Amino acid sequence: MKDLEAEERARLNAQIEELTNELEAAQIERDQARAATRVMSQALEQMNQLLHPRAGGTDRED
């Protein structure tokens, strides 16, 4: 009986470790995606500023 309980505990511990590793990997992927989104947003904002300079900028022709 104790052997079965020990085997069950070992199986559950292995499953918990596997799920924990998967969760950590998913969190890393999420953080990388967030960072990539920030970089892309900044690049798009810079492109937008280049395409549509604000009034009063040095790019205006009078």
Distance (Å, whole) CA 6 – CA 25: 29
Distance (Å, whole) CA 24 – CA 31: 11
Tell me, what's the pLDDT at 54? 81
Q: Is 55 exposed, middle or buried (0-12, 13-18, 19+ CB in 10 A)?
A: exposed
| Composition of the chain by helix, strand, coil, percent to 5 | 80, 0, 20
Question: From the first residue on, what is the mean pLDDT of each consecutive set of 10 residues in the chain (62 residues)?
Answer: 92 98 99 98 97 71 52
Whether 44 contacts 36, CB under 8 Å? no
